[in-house]
Structure 1
Amino acid sequence: MIPVDGDFILAVAPRFSGEKAEAQMRIVGQISAIFAPTLASYQINTRLRIAHFMGQVTHECAGFRTTEEFASGAAYEGRSDLGNDQIGDGKRYKGRGLLQLTGRANYRLYGKKLNLPLEDDPEIAGDPAISLKIACEYWKSRNINRFADLDDLIKVTKLVNGGRRGLDDRRKYLQKAKNALAAIEGIRVALNEGENAVVLRRGSFGDKVGELQQLLVDKGFVISIDNDFGAGTEGAVIMFQKQNGLKVDGIVGKSTWDKLAAANNSK
């Protein structure tokens, strides 16, 4: 299980001051200890899955400073597509949670999924711990992991909000999450005496990926140097491993770093 917690969330989310900062710290503080195990229980358990989840929820909950939409909810009054069939349902079942659960029908549906009285007591959907579970349950119900695995931000965004609203913002948080995860998962291994290297794989992001990409380019591979370990970089690593009798897994550990360094020094 990747140990993502409150520090990780704050590394991704924007920073605020005053009342906004207090609201953010209240929410993050309540979910910090349960964040990693909750995500893991929903198979949101790889770098790409966690990064995409963070990219979406950070945008949707305004940087973890609210679990309830700022509007009154009056705009949802009478919305039959949301199951709002009683007077006052618009405001009663306004958007709440990290991914903004909205409408009587959805409160009823996710209440049943989580065995919680969300329809009878909709305000509990704004509780940070409950809102995290709702977001994960929604993620699972739409099978969003399959597109996170492909690093497909546009399809993930469409499944979350039905369009491309806030795409640039979501992309920014996705990249920040990749950076934060690279720092957490940057397992240090001995390369040469007194020298270390990071274990890298698809989904890794940061300067060490750029260093790897430069070494591969120096060996004749045609890839972009963009600090993002995507499909192209993975393909080049796999080919390099095949050419050099290494374990072919697309993961850059000690043996692959050694070969790359040796090949570069022999030029």
Structure 2
Amino acid sequence: MIHIDAQTMFEVAPRFSGENAANQAAIIAAAGEVLQVTLQQYDINTRLRIAHFLGQTCHESAGFRTTEEFASGDAYEGRTDLGNTQPGDGRRYKGRGLLQLTGRANYRELGGVLGVDLEGRPELAAQPALSLRIACEYWKKRNINKPCDQDDLMTVTRLINGGLNGLEDRRLYTNNARRALARIEGVQLSGAQTASDKRILHRGSKGEDVAELQTLLRKLDFAVAIDGDFGAGTEVAVTRFQSENQLDADGIVGAQTWAALLAAKVPAARA
């Protein structure tokens, strides 16, 4: 089994700043918490299947920074092929989720499958964990695992998009996912599961695992408070540690950063 989580999603996605970064972090944290178990339930459990799933959902959600279509939805008004038969259905049933669920009929159908009243409460489809399940149901319905097994990006894209829109970005994110999964498998094979099992931490995280992180940083001569609150000072220290250890200096403590921290040697003056 390949152990995937929020860190895997971060490694696939592009970086943002400001509000976009905050939105991305919230979506990834919520979806990442249930990513492993959800994908396993839908047999999205091999390197190729996971890589294509993450690459496609990353593109469709604008880099995991939104679970709701940016457009108003007016373009879908009166689309009887989508089941939009009532005034206001275009906006009400606009695209939502990691793979954009669109139209009253599709909300009704997927809601019935999942036991959730998506037709009556369409905004629920934007919740990250639920949108992950919706995406998996769509994946299953279209039998997208099959072209994944052939590593057929173009067929996968056509089944998701109906054409080849955004093919280069989809290829980029799928390749990012390949590298992330290769890294994870390498960590697992080297026996570093204790690091990969730890919670992903980033600015705003709180708790005992943040205090553990801060304790490790203090031992390595980083001047941070051990208060269990991942604030600006902790983020600066993490970013500096990552830079000094040839890691992506993004301030996010995932499996690679945890492994490097746990393996780091305490300076002689502090030992």
Any idea what SS the aligned residue of 1:165 has? Answer: coil
Q: Could you tell me which residue of structure 1 aligns to residue 268 of structure 2?
A: none
Number of positions where the alignment pairs a residue of Structure 1 with one of Structure 2: 190
2:94 and 2:33 map into 1 onto residues whose CA distance is 27
Q: How far apart are residue 188 of structure 1 and its match?
A: 3.8
Q: Could you tell me which residue of structure 1 aligns to residue 44 of structure 2?
A: 44
2:165 and 2:40 map into 1 onto residues whose CA distance is 27
**Is 1:109–2:109 an aligned residue pair?**
yes
Q: Which runs of 5+ in 2 are unaligned?
A: 192-271
Letter in 2 for 1:45: N
2:59 and 2:41 map into 1 onto residues whose CA distance is 23
1:32 and 1:166 map into 2 onto residues whose CA distance is 24
TM-score (norm 1): 0.70
| Structure-to-structure mapping, 1:21-32, within 5 angstroms | 21-32=21-32
| Structure-to-structure mapping, 1:94-105, within 5 angstroms | 94-105=94-105
Q: Could you tell me which residue of structure 2 aligns to residue 87 of structure 1?
A: 87
Question: Which is greater in Rg?
Answer: 1
| Structure-to-structure mapping, 1:3-22, within 5 angstroms | 3-22=3-22
Stretches of 4+ moved more than 2 A in 1? 187-190
Letter in 2 for 1:64: F
The CA deviation string for residues 182-226 of structure 1, in whole angstroms up to 9 with x for no partner, is: 000125479xxxxxxxxxxxxxxxxxxxxxxxxxxxxxxxxxxxx
Q: Could you tell me which residue of structure 2 aligns to residue 150 of structure 1?
A: 150
Q: How far apart are residue 10 of structure 1 and its match?
A: 0.2
Any idea what SS the aligned residue of 1:70 has? Answer: coil
Letter in 1 for 2:86: Q
1:112 and 1:155 map into 2 onto residues whose CA distance is 28
Q: Could you tell me which residue of structure 2 aligns to residue 63 of structure 1?
A: 63
Counting aligned pairs with the same residue, the percent is 62
| Structure-to-structure mapping, 1:1-267, within 5 angstroms | 1-186=1-186, 187-188=188-189
Any idea what SS the aligned residue of 2:117 has? Answer: coil
2:81 and 2:5 map into 1 onto residues whose CA distance is 36
Letter in 1 for 2:105: A
Q: Which runs of 5+ in 1 are unaligned?
A: 191-267
2:174 and 2:25 map into 1 onto residues whose CA distance is 21
Q: Could you tell me which residue of structure 2 aligns to residue 193 of structure 1?
A: none
1:27 and 1:174 map into 2 onto residues whose CA distance is 19
Any idea what SS the aligned residue of 2:84 has? Answer: coil
Please tell me the root mean square deviation across aligned C-alpha atoms, in Å: 1.2
Letter in 2 for 1:88: G
Letter in 1 for 2:17: S
